[in-house]
Structure 1
Amino acid sequence: MAEQVKHDSAVLVHFTLKLEDGSTAESTLSHGKPALFRLGDGSLSDALENQLLGLRVKDKKAFTLSPESAFGMQSPDLVQFFSRRDFMETGIPDVGTIMLFTARDGSEMPGVVREVTEDSITVDFNHPLAGQHIDFDIEVLAIDPQMEASHASVTG
Structure 2
Amino acid sequence: MIENSVPVSEGTRVFLNFSVSLDDGSEVDSNFGGEAVDFAVGDGSLLPGFERLLFGMTAGQRQLFTVPPEDAFGQPNENNVQRIDREHFDPDAELSLGLVFSFADASGGEVPGVVVGFDDDEVTVDFNHPLAGRTILFDVLVHRVEPLELH
**How far, CA to CA, are the matches of 1:103 and 1:90 in structure 2?**
23
Which one-letter code corresponds to 1:10 in the other structure? R
Describe the superposition over 1:16-50 as per-residue Cα deviations: whole angstroms up to 9, x where unpaired: 112121221221226x2433333212343333222
How many equivalent residue pairs? Answer: 145
Could you give the per-residue CA deviations for residues 38-74 of structure 1, whole angstroms, max 9, x where no partner exists?
3212343333222111211221011111100011001
* In 1, Cα distance between equivalents of 2:78 and 2:116: 13
Q: 1:39 to 1:145 in 2, by over 3 A?
A: closer
Partner of 1:116: 118
Tell me the distance in 2 between the aligned counterparts of 1:90 and 1:130. Answer: 31
Equivalent residue, structure 2, for 1:9: 12
Question: Is the alpha carbon distance of 1:127 and 1:90 closer, same or farther for their aligned partners in structure 2, counting shifts above 3 Å?
Answer: farther
**Matches of 1:10 and 1:82 in 2, distance apart?**
43
1:68 counterpart SS class: helix
What is the CA–CA distance in structure 2 between the aligned matches of 1:144 and 1:90, rounded to whole Å?
A: 53
| Corresponding residue for residue 152 of structure 1 | none
Q: Which residue of 1 aligns with 2:27?
A: 24
In structure 1, list runs of 5 or more residues that go unmatched: 147-156
1:17–1:135 contact (8 Å) kept in structure 2: yes
Alpha-carbon contact 2:83-2:125 (below 8 Å) kept: yes
Is the contact made by 2:12 and 2:147 (CA closer than 8 Å) also made in structure 1?
no
TM-score w.r.t. structure 2 length?
0.82
The change in CA–CA distance for 1:37 and 1:116 in structure 2 (over 3 A counts) is farther
Matched, 1:48 2:56: no
Confirm whether residue 96 of structure 1 aligns to residue 98 of structure 2. Answer: yes
Q: Is there any run of 5+ residues in structure 2 with no aligned partner, and where?
A: none
Q: Identical aligned pairs, as a percentage? A: 37
Output the TM-score relative to the length of structure 1.
0.80
Query: What secondary structure sits across from 2:70 in the alignment?
Result: coil
User: Structure 1 residue runs of 4+, over 4 Å off?
Assistant: none
Change (3 A) 1:144 1:91: farther
Please provide the CA RMSD for this pair: 2.4
Q: How does 1:29-40 map to 2 (within 5 A)?
A: 29=32, 32-40=34-42
Q: Is the 8 A contact 2:12 2:41 kept in 1?
A: yes
Distance in 2, Cα, partners of 1:90 & 1:13: 45
Q: Greater share of helix residues, 1 or 2? A: 2
Cα distance 1:115–1:134, how it changes in 2: closer, same or farther (>3 A)? same
